[in-house]
Amino acid sequence: MLKGMTRLVSRVHKMQKLRIRKLDPGRFLHSGTQAPQCLVAHLDNQVPTESPRAISRTLENDPAKHGEQHVGQHYNISIQELKTVFPHGLPPRFVMQVKTFNEACLMVRKPALELLHYLKNTNFAHPAVRYVLYGEKGTGKTLSLCHIIHFCAKQDWLILHIPDAHLWVKNCRDLLQSTYNKQRFDQPLEASVWLKNFKTANERFLSQIKVQDKYVWNKRESTEKGSPLAEVVEQGIMRVRNATDAVGIVLKELKRQSSLGIFRLLVAVDGVNALWGRTTLKREDKSLIAPEELALIYNLRKMVKNDWQGGAIVLTVSQTGSLFKPRKAYLPQELLGKEGFDTLDPFIPILVSNYNPKEFEACIQYYLENSWLQHEKAHTEEGKKELLFLSNRNPGLLERLCAYL
C-alpha cells in the first residue's frame, strides 16, 4: 500500500501542473496522515479533463492551515459563518457574487499568507504591530483583509472591524453636537449601525468583558462598574443619541483590557486614510469640519496607535472612497498624507498586486466551474487571452468583465 502511494506521489511531483486523473478510491481509504497536501487537493477534484489545468478549489477551509501550496486556490466559507463573522465589511460586488453562486469562496493569495504568517508569530507581550495593505484599485486589499479577519475569528480573537472609514467622513445627514465634549460632533446613525454589527460578530465576548468604570448616560440611566460590555452596546443601540459615546467607551475598554490577556484584539480598518484626510461635512454655518472634530474618528485614531499589547492592527489604504485624493494615488505616503504617515510610522507595508498567471487561470477556472462565463467564446483560448488583455490580470476588472460575458 505505502509503496504504491510513494510511487504515485513521485509521479505527481514530476508533473508541472497537477493532472487530475480518475483514481481507484480503494487505494486511499486507508491513507495515513503522511499524504502530502498536494495529494489531498489532487483527490478533491476527481474530474477527468483532457488538458492539465490549475486547480481552483481546495478543501482546506481553515485559514490557519493555508500555506504556499494553496496560493491561487479558492476555499469555501459557509453561509452561517459568513453571517456571524462578516455582518459588514465584504465588498458589495462580492456580496452579490455570494448571493448568485450560493457559496462564498475566497482566493488564497500571497499578501494574505504573509500576513497570516506574521500574525501566527506575534508576540502578544509586545505592543501591537501595524500592518498596512496597499495597492492599486481592484487588486484585492479588502478581500485580503476579510481573509485575515476570518482567520482571527476562527482563532477566537475579538474582531474590531470598521468596514469603511470613508463612510464616517462623508454624507452624514444628522450631525449632533457631542454630549461628552462640546467641541466634537456625534454621528448617531453610523455609530448605531456599527454597534449592531459589532454585536453580531462578537456575541460571546461581550458578556465576558467587564467594564472598569462607571458611565452615566443621562439623569436616569448609567452603567455600573463591573457590568458586562454587552450593556454598553445595548445602550448605544437603543438610545441612538448616545451611540457615538458607546462606541468610544467600547474602544477605550477594549484597548485597556486587551493587555490583560483574556482575549486577543484585532483592529481591522478599511480605508484608514480617511482618519487623516479631509471631510465633506459642514457645520450649520457652512464651515468645514476637520476629522478630529468627529468623535468617532477621534476615538478610532487612539485605537490605531501602537501603545497597547495583546493583539494586532491590520489596516488598508484605499483611494476608492477617499476624498480629494487623485485617482492614481495608491502608495501609503500619498494617501495618508504627512500627518497620517507620521502617526502610523512604523508600520509593515504589504503590497497587494494583480493576479499572477496561475491565479488568473484559477480565477477563470472557478468562474467556469460555476458556469458564470456563459459566452461561447469565453471558454476558448482566444477568449481567455482577450480577458487577460482587457483586465491586465486585475481582479476587480476581471470580475466586472466576466459579469456580463
Which residues would be at the binding site for another protein (CB under 8 A)? 96, 100-102, 371, 374-375, 377-378, 380, 382-383, 386, 403-405
Compute the distance between CA of residue 264 and CA of residue 105 in angstroms, rounded to an integer: 26
**Closest separation between CB of residue 16 and another protein, Å?**
28
**Closest separation between CB of residue 404 and another protein, Å?**
4
Compute the distance between CA of residue 245 and CA of residue 202 in angstroms, rounded to an integer: 19
**Closest separation between CB of residue 88 and another protein, Å?**
22
Compute the distance between CA of residue 380 and CA of residue 391 in angstroms, rounded to an integer: 17
**Closest separation between CB of residue 156 and another protein, Å?**
33
Compute the distance between CA of residue 289 and CA of residue 283 in angstroms, rounded to an integer: 7
Handedness of CA 152, 156, 158, 162 (dihedral sign): positive
**Closest separation between CB of residue 401 and another protein, Å?**
9
Q: Between residues 100 and 207, which has the closer beta carbon with respect to another protein?
A: 100
Q: Between residues 97 and 316, which has the closer beta carbon with respect to another protein?
A: 97
Q: Between residues 88 and 384, which has the closer beta carbon with respect to another protein?
A: 384
Q: Between residues 46 and 380, which has the closer beta carbon with respect to another protein?
A: 380
User: Which residue, chain included where needed, has cell 505505502?
Assistant: 2
- The DSSP string of 221-289 is -EE-TT-BHHHHHHHHHHSGGGHHHHHHHHHHHHHHHHTTTSS-EEEEEESGGGGGS----B-TTSPBP
Q: Between residues 33 and 371, which has the closer beta carbon with respect to another protein?
A: 371
Q: Between residues 23 and 96, which has the closer beta carbon with respect to another protein?
A: 96
**Closest separation between CB of residue 42 and another protein, Å?**
29
- The DSSP string of 75-137 is EEE-HHHHHHH-SS-S-HHHHHHHHHHTSEEEE--HHHHHHHHHHHT--TTSBPEEEEEE-ST
